[in-house]
Amino acid sequence: MPLHDWSELGGWEGMHDIWLVELLRWIKPQLPLGYRAHLGTSPALGIGSSEKPDVAVRHWAENDAATPVQSLGGVEPDEEVATLTLDPENALLISFHGQLAAAVEVISPRNKDRPASRDAYLARYLGYLKSGVHLMIVDVHTRPAGFSFADSLIAELNLPRKVLPSPMAIAFRVGEPAPNGGRFLAQWRRPLAVGQPLGTLPLPLTVSSQVQVDLEATYSRAAQDAYLS
């Protein structure tokens, strides 16, 4: 099924969840003994430590008659702060004997609609790689123009610059230690286009093993279930 133009089509939230389930169903039977695949979030990687959340502050004036508050027997705070909520959006996580080995992240528009969102999710994806977790990112959304998580990751990791605009899919394999420090990082890059099939992409499990992920087949089944075909 050709890729839809999601800037013109509603229903992405349902599609996101169904596609993750289809990816789980595709990958799980291919996993070697000892591996487990499930949908969830990784609390340690959920938000970057450098994130500067949007905040709203409510100051409580002493004896403020204009804003009466029902007493519950406690003392009112000096101020009340609403911070950025930790994102509950699921990813496909693959673990080996309880340790996270690989992750598949399907991008939603809200992951990149504001600078704060882009910073938070970039930190999340970098967190996987810095923890030695192999990573696949799939982004089928064309907006915002000129932004790509693939390009941002490559810039943050000081890799040779090769532009991969959205929509796109990219997989990273975290390899052995490099002689001059750091670790080898392999990439598989797939440009995507509205109206074209999505193809396949390998998901590394180890340095020497991987599973082939059929993005086209899983996307097509998810879109049919979401009543988009």
Q: How far apart are CA 135 and CA 72, in angstroms?
A: 48
Whether 157 and 185 have beta carbons less than 8 Å apart is answered as yes
Average pLDDT for the chain: 85
77 pLDDT tier (thresholds 50, 70, 90): confident
Q: What percent of the chain has pLDDT over 70?
A: 79
**Residue of 172 and 58 predicted with greater confidence:** 172
- Residue (of 220, 160, 222) closest to 196 by Cα position: 220
Of 7-11, 86-90, 137-141, least confident by mean pLDDT is 86-90
The residue written with tokens 């059929």 in the block is 214
Domain ranges of the chain: 12-42+88-225
Q: Is the pLDDT of residue 194 over 80?
A: yes
Cβ(1)–Cβ(216) below 8 Å: yes
Please give the C-alpha separations between residue 14 and each of 19, 21, 37, 92, in angstroms, as whole numbers: 9, 11, 21, 16
DSSP state letter for 43? G
pTM, whole model, 2 decimals?
Answer: 0.81
Tell whether the torsion through CA atoms of 128, 132, 136 and 142 is positive or negative. positive
- pLDDT tens for 95-122 read 999 999 999 999 999 999 999 999 999 9
| Residue-wise pLDDT tens digits, 120-176 | 999 999 999 999 999 999 999 999 999 999 999 999 998 888 899 999 999 999 998
